[in-house]
Structure 1
């Protein structure tokens, strides 16, 4: 792995303990003005000092994150479908790697939809993005998206999706926690970060999700609604 790519990944996954707490705030790319994220700057500014990295779109980077903020950016670069569309899997790469360089991103993120109607396109997107990232030293985070089919979040499906992401060259993968999550970790040769998902009932539930994820081998969590909707 090239030095620059390793260096950027080390900004996100802390070398001192091998873990990360990422702040997810890219929801607007398909959900629009999500509850408690209607004004991104207002939501994010007080939280950024506590995050190892923040996952956002280029629009939010430009308008809502101070250039002097000392927080690594994981740049969401895929999209193309909104929540109004029945099929959320029809995504393309919407932000170039040159733009990621201009924004000094520490990584780029793209969703893959294994088993969905646009599986092929999303995986080809991933392969091409990895090639582009390797050229400039920017790691790629593959997000194992399930769209509206939440029942897919089991070890068999997630193990398949995460392994495919790694086989296509993703440098780390964001996925969901599930029963037998350790099996998902064991079968994936790159680091896994667990998504927070929809707002859980209590803050304790969110903390337990983070704890159990780490105990079963995840490198960290990427939480959004369970953080900025908790107040």
Structure 2
């Protein structure tokens, strides 16, 4: 079997073929913080996300049975393989809770792993990432590495050098896409992107104060050479999920400027 062909096919399902960019909406928060608003009825949320034109949703292995629709607009599927809960005394210590084979059985287009560099259990998470990328490569399965810096020695997880290091670790250990925090401006984030030969997407982080802030962050990250976004709560907890995703589509895949996106949102801003 030509696994390189398999990976190419799956990546073309996830990334827009014309722009080479991607919009992912993670829905894996139930393990970390429980059934928060927006992911209680996952099927309805996925419907809204697909209608808005996202390229993929991301969730744990037990949730496709609660969200598969059998009708409507298609959307890619990424299975998240690591987890921890906010109830734990060590919430940053992610452990593998699924396998590449689980994702294959579910018909997924990719898998994802969460790594917190700087945590006391960093070596275990790095080992897990290395194992997943090796196994995924043998099956032709793309890997999204969510790379953060969170630990006793981390003073600022958004620091340029720290984020560049995070992105580079994901690339070095075999990921096909890396997800990192946005560094705050076009000039600095362009340096993150230039240090990687694989696509770099931004995380949403904490709930932002306004939709305009989200649109501006995504716009600037794309201007810096970023490949799109992987944003959860700031999308699925929005009052008009589909409309927001259409605006994000305009920015990521349609090269809209910020004013166009803001105008399109109208009263749903």
Compute the displacement of 1:138 (Å).
0.3
Compute the displacement of 1:39 (Å).
2.3
Count the aligned residue pairs. Answer: 230
CA contact (8 A) 1:87 1:147 kept: no
Residue by residue, what CA displacement relative to the aligned partner does 1:38-79 show, whole Å, maximum 9, x if unpaired?
Answer: 222232222223211111111221212225562110110111
Unaligned runs of 5+ in 1: none
Q: TM-score, normalised on structure 1?
A: 0.93
Please give the root-mean-square deviation of Cα atoms over the aligned residues, in Å: 1.8
The answer to whether residue 231 in structure 2 is matched with residue 227 in structure 1 is no
Q: Which residue is equivalent to 1:139?
A: 142
Counterpart Cα distance in 2 of 1:147 and 1:108: 22
Residue by residue, what CA displacement relative to the aligned partner does 1:106-163 show, whole Å, maximum 9, x if unpaired?
Answer: 1100011111111111111011101110111101110013458793122111110110
Pick the structure with more helix per residue: 2
Q: Which residue is equivalent to 2:81?
A: 77
Larger Rg: 2
In structure 2, relative to structure 1, the CA distance for the partners of 1:99 and 1:67 (3 Å cut) is farther
Counterpart Cα distance in 2 of 1:40 and 1:159: 34
The answer to whether residue 174 in structure 2 is matched with residue 169 in structure 1 is yes
| Residue correspondence of structure 1 range 82-93 to structure 2 within 5 A | 82-93=85-96
CA contact (8 A) 1:75 1:100 kept: yes
Counterpart Cα distance in 1 of 2:79 and 2:155: 24
Q: Which residue is equivalent to 2:131?
A: 128
Q: Which residue is equivalent to 1:59?
A: 62
